[in-house]
Structure 1
């Protein structure tokens, strides 16, 4: 990057001098959500108002109260006719069988038997109506589950490696730290009024499968001078303004972890610069403005002591934990279960819960919308795999079934402008038939809008829904193609190189890129192939044409 060049979109360049912090009066004048949070405290909604709200007709409920329900994991389903998506938080994806059974039964009773696994290790139900919400929340509480902070300006689900406590190569078991953090932050009134959502991840997996590079605050497990603790990265995130997290350069013992996490949030939430505009309210913008060195100084000032210095370790190579592997507990195994596009039904959840309870195992949700069964005795491996197949889960299916992820999108999400899960299912069938096992662990990420819930910035190929300027084959649905992104050792923000590819032409565009990669393969990943090629070469491969490429992703 040339000297003095500022690339604010991807986080490079010089930092601009900070102006004076706005007053709270200015914040409340400019930001309607901050006014709402001042006028109606969010943490009292369930105890004081939910029963009354649930008795009213949906159309009679003020819009500001519908907005407040987000803090308890509720979003409008599409169309807005009185049904909702309900997001259940699962810290680090760890689900005992009794909790999984609770979710399955709620799905069957209240959610038309539908459920989906998310990229933040949540479970999302749909078709939920407000009159049933109080009894649903009571059932979730009885099952050891919560939706508090599932959405809204609070700490979202704390993610982690799904194999905490059983992974043979983990630095140490950080499950107690995850549980302590979830207990402290989830539903805590002090952190129910953040500038925007806050995403933590805590893991000791050497593969860094929890993707610390794209989280607001990441705790990366290490053993330092014989002590268990964490290095830290801050300021990651995707959406419309992607950032790779930056090294805070510290070592924090496991006993200090919650205190330091809290100090970071206190520093961010007390700075009114990040409350004036919702667009600039995420922690990554504070890291842009101050830099990690200055933020470390601010955190140390809050703590009243210096933190030890330690660079964050690199990933040893990304993995999705699919397959059958022995745990650190000898004689017991974990089985990775692909869930194509993350869709399951209530019956399957109950069946899996019943199976796992037979051998005192549990279920772990992954960030790739799959799950892992742990605690399987060696003598029962074949039986468990066979029974999972009977439930509808193909353990030995094509790797794309596990590595391809798609957001909620159509038909449920009000932000999506294109098909997502149905489109991905179509693409999976096409790619599996066309390329077979040659694809290996190729990662395809598809989002229906710029919010990047399915991480299109960091897939081998990312697809983001958009609208074509002209109708092609009866529709204006189209996708931008993002290339050169990655996580783990290849972490990088992708670039939107091929624009507005009509939905009917997406399979051809993928074939052009994948075919050239496989034909020219020189022991390189797809991302390395995309880096080796020029922008114009990649565009030509995607469109099948040489020469000028139009903004519609077709030859000019």
Structure 2
């Protein structure tokens, strides 16, 4: 522990302004007054309440004077009642607008202050919460959309997620008290469809001798993949290990520069070996060394939009461009899932699946909603991510969601690739909320100049991120390309992929086979001919 204490002492002589705000009051003191605050009006809302304390409960005041509200969906799993309730609240209080996020959550928007308490309480009535979905808290724990289903199931992680969530959720000692946000993911199937290496704390399906458990990776964040701790975690050790990691982060994490306060920076300062020793001391456990990672398969969605999971279970994919959805449509999804005796699973790629018995798939495919959303079911929408952009985010540089949708429509018309898989992820600014760094083709919003010298919206284009069989950050392909030109450069890249791909391979596999051996200069030369 001495190394951790030394690093803490060196970095915490001066705390940041958010840490000073935390000293003013407790988040729960604001939550307990939320009903009266909602009745008082924005003029009675103190600056620290909107800048920090309300965000502990998922409520973000936007420039239009209304709130965005994050809804925690553990493991991305929604039952019919919950989905219906969210849809109804969106219609009544949120202008019928919904965003599906990369943490398998839902964001409601345009909520007025006077309705904030009502919406939060009605969500609680169906067993879902907005607690601790912003600022210095534990964010939604993610897993595969197919967790516990069919032939893929090896370890069902939802019970573990519920157990880990019970440690911190609504517990006052943990609400808003971390040095920075903390992201966790667990993967219990052999297919990585949840960006498993991109989180602060990652439990990755692994085998050690005859034991099936998890390898522990720590320290992921935007632009950085998590690192192997060298530990194999048995299933009965998961809770104790998680408890140890979060207590160490809370006690020794840095509270000075908020840009460098994630777990990654503590690990960087003390070294992984010292932190692992601290985990052992904190937990009182002895661990075996890392096992063999089993998450080596790649998910490929065919053109039918239906994935046969085996054991009589199927997943029907509903592609949702850039995660933009409506309350009315979510209610319709819930009704169709109910008719098919199904449930709803959200995806980190901002879409959703209806999980049902294979014999019920026809019921879904014959529905009006499935026919409507089949129109969007193309190669470029199936695996698309786009963060909020300028419409609703103060940090956004470009509109982003509309830009992503426009490019997908253009590419589908110009270079259709039946059965292809291309992950295109868009971030509207360098913060990287669209996780563009692990995309096959990533886009980061910027302002650049066109051929006339006029300032226009543009993107930096990234190539070759890995997020299925392995973890790897993408390379910069082009810097500062006007959006009007970007789609033509990507079109040439898609033409190259279409011409050279083998046996219906994904772009990620194609990149590993063909493009990874080439320098960026060689690839650019090929594309610019």
Q: TM-score, normalised by structure 1?
A: 0.87
Contact kept in structure 2, 1:448 and 1:464, CA below 8 Å: yes
CA distance in 2, matches of 1:74, 1:471: 42
Structure 1 residue 160 and structure 2 residue 140: aligned? no
Equivalent in 324, 327, 334 of residue 353 of structure 1: 334
Equivalent in 45, 58, 64 of residue 81 of structure 1: 64
Equivalent in 286, 293, 311 of residue 266 of structure 2: 286
Contact kept in structure 2, 1:361 and 1:375, CA below 8 Å: yes
CA distance in 1, matches of 2:334, 2:292: 37
Equivalent in 523, 526, 529 of residue 538 of structure 1: 523
CA distance in 2, matches of 1:175, 1:465: 35
Distance 1:59-1:121 versus aligned 2 partners, 3 A rule:
same
- Alignment correspondent of 1:267: 248
In the TM superposition, 1:114-513 aligns within 5 A as 114-192=97-175, 193-222=177-206, 224-238=208-222, 242-272=223-253, 274-311=254-291, 313=293, 315-319=295-299, 323-327=305-309, 330-378=311-359, 380-387=360-367, 389=369, 392-394=372-374, 397-437=377-417, 440-469=420-449, 476-513=456-493
Partner deviation per Cα, 1:112-154 (whole Å, 9 max, x = no partner): 1110111110011110111101110111001111111111101
Contact kept in structure 2, 1:409 and 1:421, CA below 8 Å: yes
- What is the aligned residue count? 518
Distance 1:150-1:356 versus aligned 2 partners, 3 A rule:
same
Contact kept in structure 1, 2:231 and 2:289, CA below 8 Å: yes
Contact kept in structure 1, 2:69 and 2:109, CA below 8 Å: yes
Distance 1:34-1:536 versus aligned 2 partners, 3 A rule:
same
Partner deviation per Cα, 1:483-533 (whole Å, 9 max, x = no partner): 221112242111223111011111112123333444455776135443233
CA distance in 2, matches of 1:118, 1:85: 13
Distance 1:394-1:518 versus aligned 2 partners, 3 A rule:
closer
**Bigger mean CA deviation after superposition, 194-203 or 166-175:** 166-175
Shift of 1:94: 0.5
CA distance in 1, matches of 2:121, 2:13: 35
CA distance in 1, matches of 2:517, 2:472: 15
CA distance in 2, matches of 1:59, 1:532: 59
Distance 1:84-1:216 versus aligned 2 partners, 3 A rule:
same
- Alignment correspondent of 1:14: none
CA distance in 2, matches of 1:470, 1:510: 17
Q: TM-score, normalised by structure 2?
A: 0.91
Contact kept in structure 1, 2:80 and 2:334, CA below 8 Å: yes
Distance 1:54-1:292 versus aligned 2 partners, 3 A rule:
same
Contact kept in structure 2, 1:250 and 1:308, CA below 8 Å: yes
Partner deviation per Cα, 1:522-546 (whole Å, 9 max, x = no partner): 776135443233222334455x37x
**Bigger mean CA deviation after superposition, 162-171 or 479-488:** 162-171
Shift of 1:187: 2.7
CA RMSD, 1 decimal: 2.5
- Alignment correspondent of 1:40: 25
Contact kept in structure 2, 1:247 and 1:311, CA below 8 Å: no
Contact kept in structure 2, 1:416 and 1:449, CA below 8 Å: yes
Distance 1:85-1:319 versus aligned 2 partners, 3 A rule:
same
Distance 1:527-1:450 versus aligned 2 partners, 3 A rule:
farther
